[in-house]
Structure 1
Amino acid sequence: MNIVFLTSEVVPFAKTGGLADVCGALPIEVSRLGHRCSIIMPAFRGVERSGIDIQPTDISFAIPLSADKLVGGRLLHAKLGGSEVDVWLIDQPQYFDRPALYGESGFDYHDNGERFTFFCRAAIAAMLRLEQAPDVVHCNDWQSGLAPLLLKSNPKLAQQLGFPVSVMTIHNMAYQGVFPAELFPLSGLDWNDFHSDCEFYGQVNFLKAGLNAADFITTVSPRYAKEIQTPQHGCGLDGVLSARQGRVVGITNGIDVEVWDPSSDVKLPMRYDSEHWQFGKVGNKRSLQEEFGLELNDDVPMIGLVGRLAEQKGWDLILPVIKQHVQEQRPTQWIILGSGDPWVEYELKNLCEQAPQQVAAHIGFHDALAHRIEAGSDLFVMPSHYEPCGLNQLYSLRYGTVPVVTATGGLADTVVDASDENVANQTATGFHLPEKTPQGLDQAIGRALNMRHHQKKNWQDLVLRGMRKDSSWRQSAAQYQALYEEAVSLKASR
């Protein structure tokens, strides 16, 4: 099969979150199953810093966004991570040559709807110019949500592309791409398509368009696939998903086990494997303590956090617990990497100043530091209010860092709570919060530290079980392959 992935983020070209990790790994793994895979994404400013050779092409196009607005673009080309996966970058400086991907200083760019309408239309134009009829067009999140509707609503266009099937993957239901209805004509679609497929309280909803038009809908864990069909987690689209529940599939994300491997990770001061994890983790912890001015102490438990500083990630739970540990001078150290809500950044800066030997934070994105935090921490805290899949808990397991998580979405699917029963039957890999409160988080951390200090054999077993867990993309890619085959087969039988 020929599979084309449409996405706004791909590691190492552009990243704000887990979407980039998924789209940087899944196409490679699917290609290893014998399929031709390619990616189409925007040529954001900074893609040249990826370290990958990007070449211009002579392929260009012009998209008529309105009667008096014709927007041109051209394609750049690269290969993904030394693989055979083609990356086609849509070069349009007016839309994509900006300091950030979606917005700055906490505010979205005012023309995001127009930018990603252009992206969807340009991606289809690119497929036509490349003359590579796709069997599957795999779209990711709202930024590519209009593409399935464009294919569904234009039979002539679909015919030119060989009638591909479309798959829409939801990485996070909370981000839907909702814009004023006046934007819809830029898509070139009929107003009937607006009312039947993407109208959302009088506005246009890009994600809803994709959910209604795609042949299959996937999301990034089985539990999250069920959760988003409920009012609590459906973010207003639970009815759309419930109506299509026979086409909604949850496939748990994997991780790139070559990039995330403590035994070969060149970003670590000290590499280690499951046979020497204790020695390796102490060495990496010591390096972090020296780098950030934390107390030099091999025995103090280090608690790591990497990710967006956003409410979703449970910062209303985390900050009170850190403050309590600081005030009570508990023997813990906290090391944080991320950026996001200004109020969280402000609170973290204050805590770092108040307790510089106990709390350290780097505001921003730093890939090498993310690896070092995973390697040097004893616990990784991830008390998300909701979590479609999550990747950091998988990185943590592989690096022998025990995750403390809420029992939601992919966190519940990938981390087995260390209950007495699960410890006894040797399935436990981490700790679940008993409730989504600061007290619940502190209690879960307390359980973990109690096992680390007083049940050393159980702790060692927990660490080793996580390190030996297969979290690679192999199983997930095989499930996607089966889904693609089913979608193509169903379309052929119509």
Structure 2
Amino acid sequence: MVTLNTLMVASEAYPLAKSGGLGDAVTGMTCALRSAGSSVELLLPAYRGVLENLRQTHPPERLSGLPGGEATLYRGYCRDTGMAVHALRNDALYDRAGLYVDENGVDHPDNALRYAALSHAAVRLCLGLPGRRRPDVVHAHDWHAGLAPLLVRAVGLRYVKTVFTIHNLAFQGLFDLGQAHDLGVPADYCGPDGVEFWGKMSFMKAGIRYADRVTTVSHTYAREILTPEFGCGLDDLLRARSAELLPVPNGIDDVLWNPAEDPALGRCRYDLDNLRNKRRCKAALRLAFGLADEHEGPLLAMGSRLTHQKMADVVVQTLPQVMKAHPDLQVVILGQGDPAVERQLLDIEAQYPGRCAVRIGYDEHTAHRLHAGADILLHGSRFEPFGLTPLYAMRYGTIPIGSRVGGMADTIQDPAGGEHRANGILFEGDTPQAMVDAIGRAVKLYAQPDLWRGMQANGMTADFSWRQPVQQYADLYARLAAWPATPRVPAARLRQVAPGVPLVQPASDLGGAPLQAAA
């Protein structure tokens, strides 16, 4: 039996490049599929530092005619994970400090070119490059790779199947529709039934519209995005494609996130049968953040982007109330985002020396220590496609407080639904009072050691790994590959990216004749 070859197309993958949960999810999925016996490769931009983290690189391939100019495609293996990686190098597009935004948090003005080039490179791999196996399935992730399913269809690659995963519908990749020609998007695809979205061009819509199958990352989120409240203007299209929309929950890397083996914890590693070292991790976290060590109450942590989605504006209203109501409560915050919120949190820190500590920024090492040392994780969110952070917390015996939205509604079990299976606390809405009440419930539960230990055990022993999700994806790929070739129309000539520069060169086994866009 021939093993299918899957090409993951993504803008980030830990540890090569990461700005959030997308990077963790792409790497976790890719590595788990490989461990399960699948052939899978990853295509991502060669951001600054990516090539230095690849080993055994193959001879690079020059790609001309891509949006943004000539690029070079490198192939190697990630030093840390062993993933097979195709890295697309164009220093004019990718050699900069931020993945998506500059040092002021402003989107790079050429993001359309940067990620259109990535999707065109995926098509080049599908058509065939020397020494590289062609993919049978292209699996595109979020708006950054949204043009890949469209281009696979436009070029007429009838035997390549496409999957598009929505990780966060709120970020849609909206650009000037007038750029479509320069991005290599055929005019046939630029209407309201194509990439056009309220006068703009939506990369997210392209992926949803043209992929053979669309997936998203939790059961609740799959239902939510069919509604106007959570559909971000694409709910009509998603309802039209609901028969092809599949919820496949994310997983976590339970080797990387394992308190019994985590190198970030040094000699204070622990497991469910020995939680004494978790108390030592708490003491170490207090020391690292400059908190007083005489408090007997719980240590509440927040490790998150400080944004509207993550209810950071609600947190700054909530903290003074809970600090006053619970004198033994201590708080540590690790994150960055809205500058106004950052300033407000630093003001609260100044009001409660020894009890509240705020560190603006993010690093993986501190994040691991945060989950190990905290008793409670606060993770409010106005919408949450999946919610990896609460699962990391559970893995470390830290009880999450989360909003009853998206994936958190699926994974966090509140004691109100039965104490025997509780692993966290859920709250409704986005008001300060709702968050205050949820934190108050957590403080009361912390004072009940037997119940608290049971909640820790439920979280630490739950299987949130990638094992089941990747089996669902492997089955999906196999079903798609068994389909007859998707009918697409070969014709006389490829569309032009620029005068005299073809979108892609035709593959030899397609008869050598260039192909025209086929709607």
Relative to the length of structure 1, the TM-score reads 0.93
> Matches of 1:391 and 1:408 in 2, distance apart?
13
**Partner residue, 2:475:** 482
Tell me if structure 2 keeps the 8 A contact 1:197–1:209.
Answer: yes
Query: What amino acid is aligned across from residue 404 of structure 2 in structure 1?
Result: A
Query: What amino acid is aligned across from residue 307 of structure 1 in structure 2?
Result: S
Tell me if structure 2 keeps the 8 A contact 1:75–1:126.
Answer: no
Which residue of 59, 62, 68 maps to 2:61?
59
Tell me if structure 2 keeps the 8 A contact 1:168–1:217.
Answer: yes
Taking the TM superposition and a 5 Å limit, the aligned residue runs for 1:34-45 are: 34-45=37-48
Deviations 1:161-182 (A, max 9, x none): xx21100000000000000111
Does 2:376 match 1:375?
A: no
Tell me if structure 2 keeps the 8 A contact 1:165–1:491.
Answer: no
**Partner residue, 1:351:** 348
**Partner residue, 1:213:** 210
Runs ≥4 in structure 1, deviation > 6 angstroms?
Answer: none
> Matches of 2:347 and 2:58 in 1, distance apart?
47
> Matches of 1:34 and 1:326 in 2, distance apart?
51
Query: What amino acid is aligned across from residue 64 of structure 2 in structure 1?
Result: A
Taking the TM superposition and a 5 Å limit, the aligned residue runs for 1:109-148 are: 109-127=108-126, 128-130=128-130, 131-148=132-149
> Matches of 2:60 and 2:313 in 1, distance apart?
51
Which residue of 353, 360, 366 maps to 1:363?
360
Taking the TM superposition and a 5 Å limit, the aligned residue runs for 1:108-187 are: 108-127=107-126, 128-130=128-130, 131-155=132-156, 158=157, 163-187=159-183
* 1:258 Cα offset (Å): 0.5
Tell me if structure 2 keeps the 8 A contact 1:63–1:122.
Answer: no
Tell me if structure 2 keeps the 8 A contact 1:253–1:476.
Answer: yes
> Matches of 1:326 and 1:238 in 2, distance apart?
41
Tell me if structure 2 keeps the 8 A contact 1:137–1:164.
Answer: yes
**Partner residue, 1:228:** 225
Tell me if structure 2 keeps the 8 A contact 1:336–1:361.
Answer: yes
Taking a change above 3 Å as real, the CA distance of residues 309 and 361 of structure 1, as seen in their structure-2 partners, is same
* 1:469 Cα offset (Å): 0.4
Tell me if structure 1 keeps the 8 A contact 2:296–2:328.
Answer: no
Query: What amino acid is aligned across from residue 115 of structure 2 in structure 1?
Result: F
1:71 is paired with a residue whose SS is: coil
Taking the TM superposition and a 5 Å limit, the aligned residue runs for 1:407-426 are: 407-419=404-416, 421-423=417-419, 426=420
Tell me if structure 2 keeps the 8 A contact 1:303–1:378.
Answer: yes
**Partner residue, 2:75:** 77
Which residue of 386, 398, 401 maps to 1:401?
398
**Partner residue, 2:20:** 17
> Matches of 1:316 and 1:84 in 2, distance apart?
40
Q: Number of residues paired by the alignment?
A: 479
1:267 is paired with a residue whose SS is: helix
1:295 is paired with a residue whose SS is: coil
* 1:430 Cα offset (Å): 0.7
Query: What amino acid is aligned across from residue 256 of structure 1 in structure 2?
Result: D
Deviating more after overlay: 373-382 vs 440-449: 440-449
* 1:479 Cα offset (Å): 1.1
> Matches of 1:16 and 1:429 in 2, distance apart?
27
Deviating more after overlay: 24-33 vs 433-442: 433-442
* 1:436 Cα offset (Å): 2.6
Tell me if structure 2 keeps the 8 A contact 1:121–1:187.
Answer: no
> Matches of 1:493 and 1:363 in 2, distance apart?
50
**Partner residue, 2:491:** none
Alignment RMSD (CA, Å): 1.8
**Partner residue, 1:470:** 463
> Matches of 2:229 and 2:372 in 1, distance apart?
35
Taking a change above 3 Å as real, the CA distance of residues 19 and 489 of structure 1, as seen in their structure-2 partners, is same
Deviations 1:289-326 (A, max 9, x none): 11111011362211111121111011122111112234
> Matches of 2:415 and 2:226 in 1, distance apart?
29
* 1:493 Cα offset (Å): 8.8
> Matches of 1:362 and 1:49 in 2, distance apart?
29
Taking a change above 3 Å as real, the CA distance of residues 81 and 437 of structure 1, as seen in their structure-2 partners, is farther
* 1:443 Cα offset (Å): 0.8
Query: What amino acid is aligned across from residue 117 of structure 1 in structure 2?
Result: A
> Matches of 1:48 and 1:446 in 2, distance apart?
48
Relative to the length of structure 2, the TM-score reads 0.89
Query: What amino acid is aligned across from residue 148 of structure 2 in structure 1?
Result: A
Deviations 1:222-269 (A, max 9, x none): 110110010000000001100000000111110001100000000014
**Partner residue, 2:86:** 88
**Partner residue, 1:251:** 248
Query: What amino acid is aligned across from residue 48 of structure 2 in structure 1?
Result: R
Query: What amino acid is aligned across from residue 74 of structure 2 in structure 1?
Result: L
2:73 is paired with a residue whose SS is: strand
* 1:14 Cα offset (Å): 0.6
**Partner residue, 1:26:** 29
Tell me if structure 2 keeps the 8 A contact 1:284–1:376.
Answer: yes
* 1:340 Cα offset (Å): 1.1
Percent sequence identity is 35
Does 2:420 match 1:460?
A: no
Taking a change above 3 Å as real, the CA distance of residues 404 and 2 of structure 1, as seen in their structure-2 partners, is same
* 1:106 Cα offset (Å): 2.0
* 1:152 Cα offset (Å): 0.9
For structure 2, the 5+ residue unaligned runs are: 488-519
Taking a change above 3 Å as real, the CA distance of residues 493 and 146 of structure 1, as seen in their structure-2 partners, is closer
For structure 1, the 5+ residue unaligned runs are: none
> Matches of 1:337 and 1:57 in 2, distance apart?
41
Tell me if structure 1 keeps the 8 A contact 2:424–2:455.
Answer: yes
* 1:414 Cα offset (Å): 0.6
Taking the TM superposition and a 5 Å limit, the aligned residue runs for 1:198-347 are: 198-269=195-266, 270-277=268-275, 279-297=276-294, 299-327=296-324, 330-347=327-344
Tell me if structure 1 keeps the 8 A contact 2:51–2:87.
Answer: no
> Matches of 1:305 and 1:396 in 2, distance apart?
10
* 1:372 Cα offset (Å): 0.2
**Partner residue, 2:445:** 451
> Matches of 1:31 and 1:237 in 2, distance apart?
33
Which has the bigger relative contact order, CA under 8 A and spacing at least 6? 2
**Partner residue, 2:95:** 97
